[in-house]
A and B are shown apart, each in its own frame.
Chain A
Amino acid sequence: MATGIGDPQCFKGKAGASKFKEGDRVRVKDLPDIFYTRTMTYTRGAVGTVTKLVYESPAAEDEAWDNTDNPEWFYSVVFKQKELWPEYPDLYANDTVETEFPERYLESA
């Protein structure tokens, strides 16, 4: 059992029911950054597919303030490159990027 500071295992079972499941289509919300975020600009507004519910953890935006009271589900989401970069060549339409988001950044698409 991991007990390292911030290790996701410390928050296992604390986020309650997950809002999304594997295979769901989601859109990344463009929330304002108050202080610091790990949600990359290049993904904002993009629609992708949930590949995996990865762990429960407070969002980086809360942890930055030592607030670990509200763990939430984190999702691994895969995007078509073309969705992120419209100029991406059609020849490579299958190419993708996969990265993670706290639940608050996602909405059903």
Chain B
Amino acid sequence: MSDHDHKPAPMVDEVSDFEILEMAVRELAIEKGLFSAEDHRVWTEYVHTLGPLPAARMVAKAWLDPEYKKLCDTDGVEASKAVGVNWVTSPPTQFGTPSDYCNLRVLVDTPTVKHVVVCTLCSCYPRPILGQSPEWYRTPNYRRRLVRWPRQVLAEFGLQLPSDVEIRVGDSNQKTRYFVMPVRPEGTEGWNEDQLTEIVTRDCLIGVAVPKPGVTSNAKRPVIKAIHPVHHGH
């Protein structure tokens, strides 16, 4: 057996100015009483646990169970419990949900209606069930253009849909937070819940991609600036 097998995962053995800046900002904020070290630790720990997996599992379950699909459609908060997300009690603040209201709506696609989600106001996102939003979701470019030129924006994500499919943009500018339940793709007949969960990526849950057998990660997306709304550099 070679040494190679015993090597630990590589680490960055260098402290960057950015890492130092992040710590310095945080320490000063704590010393000035803007927040407490304990709150920061608890919140960081909680945010660490979040990701799109629970929502992906909800979709997979719904694909397999028509009754559960109905529940997702009518009561997203209740349906979330089946995947371990309790919108009322899970965040450590006890304030309800972090930056999001306790009001999840699952937008259920059909063969003729494709949903896609945006928050034109800022970047509201159902964090308890999807984790942190990707950077492009937060950009003015996406927020301003998706409500107005959805087909152009989706095409930039590689998603082109025929004209007989209605594209429905959900703008979460009030108290409801959304995620999209895409249509189960062909080629997944006989798959179990775990297998199905794997192909429901974060981008599928936002609605800018559709699930495909064999595709289990989000496509790389260059962030495009809003000041050149039609320019696409890649």
Contacts and interface: CB of A to CB of B under 8 A. Distances in A.
Given A7-B103, A8-B101, A8-B175, A85 B166 contact: no
A5 interface: yes
A4 B175 contact: no
Nearest to B115: A98
B95 A95 contact: no
B174 A7 contact: no
A34 interface: no
Dominant SS among interface residues on chain B? loop
A9 B175 CA distance: 11
Interface string A66-104: 000000001010100100110000011011111111100
A2 B103 CA distance: 9
Contacts of B164: 94
Size bracket of the A interface: 20 to 34
Interface in B162-214: 163-176
B41 interface: no
A91 B164 CA distance: 9
A66 to B, nearest CB: 16
A54 B175 CA distance: 9
Contacts of A92: 151, 163, 167
A8 B102 contact: yes
B42 interface: no
B64 to A, nearest CB: 26
Contact of B96 (A4, A40, A57, A96): A4
Interface of A: 1-9, 38-40, 42, 54-55, 57, 60, 74, 76, 78, 81, 84-85, 91-92, 94-102
Interface of B: 77, 87-88, 95-97, 101-103, 105, 120-121, 147-148, 150-151, 163-176
Given A78-B168, A97-B169, A100-B175, 20 more contacts: A2-B88, A3-B96, A7-B96, A7-B102, A8-B101, A38-B121, A40-B121, A42-B120, A54-B105, A54-B175, A74-B174, A84-B147, A85-B148, A91-B163, A92-B163, A95-B151, A95-B168, A97-B170, A97-B171, A98-B169
